[in-house]
Amino acid sequence: MRKRFEDKVIIITGAGMGIGRASSLAFAREGGSVAVVDISEPDGNEVVTQIQDEGGKAVFIHCDVANSKDVQRMVAETVSAFGGVDVLYNNAGVVRYGTVVDMSEEEWDYILNVNLRATFLTCKYTIPEMRKRGGGVIVNTSSVQAFASQRTVAAYSASKGGVLSLTKTVALDHVDENIRCNCIAPASIHTPMLEWGAAMFVPDDPAQAIKEWGELHPMGRVGTPEEVANMVMFLASDESSFSTGSCFFIDGGLLASAL
Ligand SMILES: NC(=O)c1ccc[n+]([C@@H]2O[C@H](COP(=O)([O-])OP(=O)(O)OC[C@H]3O[C@@H](n4cnc5c(N)ncnc54)[C@H](O)[C@@H]3O)[C@@H](O)[C@H]2O)c1
């Protein structure tokens, strides 16, 4: 049986761990050729090895997505490895905690650069390659934090709100070129990022913190990276062919609840 992403080339940023890692494995299992893009070479190489061991196609590309030269090289290396680009999944992201008063300007710039500027850069340099293929799909990563905030996430929330707005305008600017652009808004997903946050806020019992955060979601648990990957594959495939400029929640009912 034909797999969903056979003959498709997928760039996944932040693919070395967490959601990006699970998504890389999922796309490769569906026949896709995956550019595993990350700032961490050991993590990225591990993902590529796993994909190749399973008989899939992947290359690791070292890239700081906030750096324009890196992004331009990353797109060129993807094209040279696989002949073009069909799907761009902007997943790389970072979080730091603090109010606007106690967060340093450097931390603010770091978060905004990796989460928002990078989304601009990867779109800027990938869309010309999509045009050559007659179209393509972009999936950006926003967050529930773009819709309902918490304390001490000023820079992160602002960056994810920016990604939501950028998604809409990219969708409109390129709708006539057969390029769709949507974003996802996950709530808490069990990844190294979530574990890092739990260890920082509750160093004595991070596992208990994750359990309690899960209980804040109407489904009573945090999500898995695979549940995010499934939504991203839906958005990257023709199954979502009438959707562009939209945001898709993976939040266990969190934003439906006011309590
Ligand atoms: N985990 C959650 O609860 C959650 C919730 C909502 C949204 N998100 C978003 O989902 C995305 C993935 O999150 P995660 O939890 O898997 O994160 P993670 O920290 O577990 O993994 C992030 C990956 O991105 C890579 N990375 C970081 N900076 C980079 C850079 N400058 N260039 C290239 N790669 C870089 C890291 O090396 C790592 O492999 C992020 O955009 C995050 O904001 C996560």
Q: What are the tens digits of pLDDT across the range 41-87?
A: 999 999 999 999 999 999 999 999 999 999 999 999 999 999 999 99
The pTM assigned to this predicted structure is 0.98
Residue-number span of the structural domain to which 83 is assigned: 9-186+225-245
What confidence tens digit (pLDDT) does each residue in 145-173 have? Answer: 999 999 999 999 999 999 999 999 999 99
> Does residue 256 fall inside a structural domain?
no
16 lines ligand 1 (CB under 6 A): yes
Quote the crossing angle between the two packed helices 192-201 and 206-215, to the nearest 10°. 110
28 with 49, same domain? yes
> Does residue 253 fall inside a structural domain?
no
Q: Which atom of ligand 1 is nearest to the CA of 225?
A: 16
Instruction: Please tell me the distance between residue 192's alpha carbon and the centre of ligand 1 in angstroms.
Output: 8
Note whether 225 and 23 are within 8 A (CB): yes
53 with 119, same domain? yes
238 with 113, same domain? yes
Whichever domain contains 24, its CATH number is 3.40.50.720
Instruction: Please tell me the distance between residue 99's alpha carbon and the centre of ligand 1 in angstroms.
Output: 21
Q: What is the mean pLDDT of residues 232-242?
A: 98
> Does residue 108 fall inside a structural domain?
yes
* 156 part of the active site: yes
66 lines ligand 1 (CB under 6 A): yes
The closest residue, in CA terms, to atom 43 on ligand 1 is 93
156 with 109, same domain? yes
Instruction: Please tell me the distance between residue 142's alpha carbon and the centre of ligand 1 in angstroms.
Output: 11
153 with 210, same domain? no
- Give CA–CA dist 62/101, Å, rounded: 34
Question: What does the DSSP 8-state code read for residue 176?
Answer: G
34 with 80, same domain? yes
Instruction: Please tell me the distance between residue 114's alpha carbon and the centre of ligand 1 in angstroms.
Output: 10
Q: Provide the H-helix boundaries in 174-257.
A: 192-201, 206-215, 225-236
> Does residue 36 fall inside a structural domain?
yes
182 with 195, same domain? no
Residue 202 has pLDDT above 70, yes or no: yes
Pairing of strands 247-250, 179-186: parallel
Number of folded domains that form the chain: 2
Catalytic residue among 89, 97, 125, 156: 156
